[in-house]
Structure 1
Amino acid sequence: MVTRTYRMDHDLGFAPNPYFGWCSLACCMPQIRKSAKLGDIIIGLAGAGKRGLRRIHPQIVYWMRVQEILSFDEYWTDPRFINKTPRINGPKIRMVGDRTYRHEPNDPDWSFERSMHYMPNAPQTNGGHVAKDTKVDRLLLSEDFTYWGGIGPTIPPHLIGLFPNPRGQKCPSEGPLLNELHDLVGVHAPKGVTGDPADWHNLKYFKG
């Protein structure tokens, strides 16, 4: 078991998506999605960037223990996750759905829904989020998680070094500091969803 930490620029409830009983990391963070193994613990920290989650840094947004690893096609066809299909005109919990990418029969190109990572009229430089997300055909799932969103615990200064700066992932070595971080986030006592995403009131992404 490896602990993988990273800093989050945004928290929309999309990556990760903690809804309908499963925490899924299906978009963004290709390095973690590519390398994570069953049993690994993923911990997301609010980043310190001016355009992102600086206002709640250094709070923890979520943690999850990887229990399943699927391809996008497997995710799309699995009926357990049908409610994670995005509905951009629906309530916020459905707007942030991440069950979008898949291959249609006899079509090698990716098909996808309108989602927080694809809007038809939005510019898509170098393929945009779609190209970046599908570069790694692998997503992580867990029923063993706690998602705080914008109300997570604040980590003390001496634990900041367990997280990368500014981007990528970090795999801290076993020891007292990592044990303290595990205790702080409660890796042995998952609570599911305890708060709303930090960016749910951001009018750039959501209306009203």
Structure 2
Amino acid sequence: MTLYSYVVRYDIGFAPNPFRGLCSVATCKPVIRAHAAIGDWVLGVGSAEHDLRGRLVYAMRVEETVSYDQYWSDSRFRDRRPSLGGSRMQAFGDNIYHRDPVTGAWVQENGRHSLPDGRPNTDHIERDTRSDRVLLSQEFVYFGGDGPVIPAGLRSGDRDFLKNPRGHAVVRDPAHIDAIVEWVQTLGSGRLGRPADWPSLERPDRRVSERWQP
């Protein structure tokens, strides 16, 4: 078992997408998506710019992986396609990629990673599709901007998996992973908070930076 950790720079319910009893990582972090195996853990931690450094945003145990075409065509995930006229949760659906059946070219649906006018964003297409793989889990906990502080004993010294804010960190030591997972499993399960970048009365200083405003 391997544990991957990275900083969630934009927490808007898109990557990860923690809704409807399922946590999915369908975009960004192509290296993690390419290498994470069934049974591995992925942890998202808070960013310094959100004053959330050292806090847990979410944790998931990878239970299933699918390709983009499988994700798009599988009826289980149809409600994860973006719907810009719906709720904020629907607008940030992460089921945005599939291949054109004739040309084989990538199709990017109008969503979070598109250009402001809805046209495909080639930079995001190139980055996201470096790994044609979506990570899925029903065994997860998501806190958004309200996550607990990760105990110092789990990330101290040369085992600190918060040291690489731009890429990701990998933990392979079984004892260290067991300690992290044991702590995570005491926190509850499912979606227990709201995305840090969603506007709220509790956080009037935080705003969704995309074109979907409240």
**TM-score relative to the length of structure 1:** 0.88
Q: What does residue 139 of structure 1 align with?
A: 134
Map residues 79-158 of structure 1 onto 2, 5 A cutoff.
79-121=75-117, 127-158=122-153
- Give me the whole-angstrom Cα distance separating, in 1, the residues matched to 2:196 and 2:42: 18
Task: Answer yes or no: is 1:162 the counterpart of 2:167.
Answer: no
Q: What SS does structure 2 have at the residue aligned with 1:80?
A: helix
- Give me the whole-angstrom Cα distance separating, in 2, the residues matched to 1:81 and 1:28: 18
Q: What SS does structure 1 have at the residue aligned with 2:169?
A: coil
Unaligned runs of 5+ in 1: none
What is the number of equivalent residue pairs in this alignment? 202
Q: What does residue 57 of structure 1 align with?
A: 53
- Give me the whole-angstrom Cα distance separating, in 1, the residues matched to 2:171 and 2:188: 21
Q: What does residue 185 of structure 2 align with?
A: 186
- Give me the whole-angstrom Cα distance separating, in 2, the residues matched to 1:77 and 1:124: 20
Check conservation: 1:71, 1:139, Cα contact below 8 A: yes
- Give me the whole-angstrom Cα distance separating, in 2, the residues matched to 1:21 and 1:84: 12
Q: Percent identity?
A: 36
- Give me the whole-angstrom Cα distance separating, in 2, the residues matched to 1:190 and 1:173: 24
Unaligned runs of 5+ in 2: 200-206
Check conservation: 1:70, 1:138, Cα contact below 8 A: yes
Moved over 4 A (4+): 122-125
Check conservation: 1:144, 1:190, Cα contact below 8 A: no
Q: What does residue 20 of structure 1 align with?
A: 20
What's the offset of the Cα at 1:183? 2.6
